[in-house]
Amino acid sequence: MIFENLPTTPRSEELIDKAFSRAARAGRAKQGLEAQQSMLQTAANILSDNLENVVTEWPDFDLVDPFYYELADAVLKTEPSFGGREDEGGVDILRQSLSEVGWASRQVREIKDEYGSKLRRTDPETARKHRKQAFARMADIVEEVEADLRRVGDARDALRTLPDVRPDEPTLVVAGYPNVGKSSFVNAVTRARNEIAAYPFTTKGVGIGHFERDRIRYQIIDTPGLLDRPEEERNDIERQAVSALEHLADAVLFVVDASEACGYPLDAQLELRDAVAARFEGADVPVLTVCNKSDRSTDVEADAYMSVAEGDNVDGVLDTAIEAIGYEPDLPSRGDR
């Protein structure tokens, strides 16, 4: 997952202490003018390199898959350090902070060059005064971006825990009201090897499983808390997460329970189905209606019928979904071999 290995973001005080303590050790190893030059070089390099690494370790959001972009944008809006700026997306705010940290890195290098020139043309005592001035200015620069460093660190902590979803794999999203059998279906077709991961803004785990058919690996996702209730009951962040799923899904399997044993009237289930279909229509994603608990009732028009509890037609439903996905791998032509 693209955010999983992001390094810990240092705080300004921590970074300043690290740079100046190492500079002091470097200075003790030398004498006179050379000691001041070594201290300046060491502190500046540690500060500028660490600040630059904060920026370069992040992926380029212009190149990030739209699913992860939208999901990151939604997640970051839940972070307190990103709050109070409703007119901007979470990713935009993060980009601004990364830009400020990059600016600080460049400023430190400029201070190093400016005072490095001064240190070459003076006596040791004056050089010591110049070096202390340089340290004070560098510390001011780093402290100026403390809020940005904290924001970047908060973003890292939030995003690195996102589920390991693979946008390059053909993906089936399972939707429907609670208790209609979605998780049971996912467990059945993945032989219960699916992982349970959590979105930071949901209270239930997101089921992510995989299965293979004709040597093609498929991804299947159950999203409780997102596609299990009407649109008006979702908050803005949950709506954006659904938008992210539009980029990910190759087909949606909407599960209904015609027996209404799930606790929801069939009319309400079909109304939610129609809303989901309308939502994914713009993304040209097929939405299949599957009637589960067919051993109890089949009193609904559906694309397929099954009973996960009885093991009836589960594979047939999966075949129908795979056909709807219509995934064709890119095979190398003779000229590419």
Radius of gyration of the chain (CA): 28
The CA distances from residue 172 to 12, 72, 103, 106, 288, in Å, are 44, 21, 43, 46, 11
Coil, helix or strand for 220?
A: strand
DSSP 163-204: ----TTS-EEEEE-STTSSHHHHHHHHTTT--EEEE-TT-SS
At the top level of CATH, which class does the domain 171-325 belong to? alpha beta
Query: 307: which 2 tokens?
Result: 């009973």
pTM: 0.82
User: Could you give the residue range(s) of every CATH 3.40.50.300 domain in the chain?
Assistant: 171-325
From edge to edge, which strands make up the β-sheet containing 287-292?
A: 195-198, 205-213, 216-222, 171-175, 251-257, 287-292, 304-305
Distance, CA of 171 to CA of 274 (rounded, Å): 20
Domain spanning 12-159, CATH architecture: Up-down Bundle (1.20)
Instruction: Supply 176's token pair.
Output: 């429907």
Residues of the chain with CATH 1.20.120.1190: 12-159
Return the bridge partners of 220, or none.
Answer: 172, 209
Tokens of 2: 């693209």
Q: Look at the block and give the residue holding tokens 């109890």.
A: 296
Successive 10-residue mean pLDDT values, the chain, 337 residues:
88 97 94 93 97 95 90 86 72 96 98 93 91 97 97 93 83 94 89 59 69 90 83 81 87 96 96 94 92 96 96 95 88 50
Q: Parallel, antiparallel, or unpaired: how do β-strands 251-257 and 195-198 relate?
A: unpaired
DSSP string, 12-59: HHHHHHHHHHHHHHHHHTS-HHHHHHHHHHHHHHHHHHHHHHHHHTS-
pLDDT of residue 129: 95
- Burial of residue 188, with CB atoms counted within 10 A of its CB: 0-12 exposed, 13-18 middle, 19 or more buried: buried
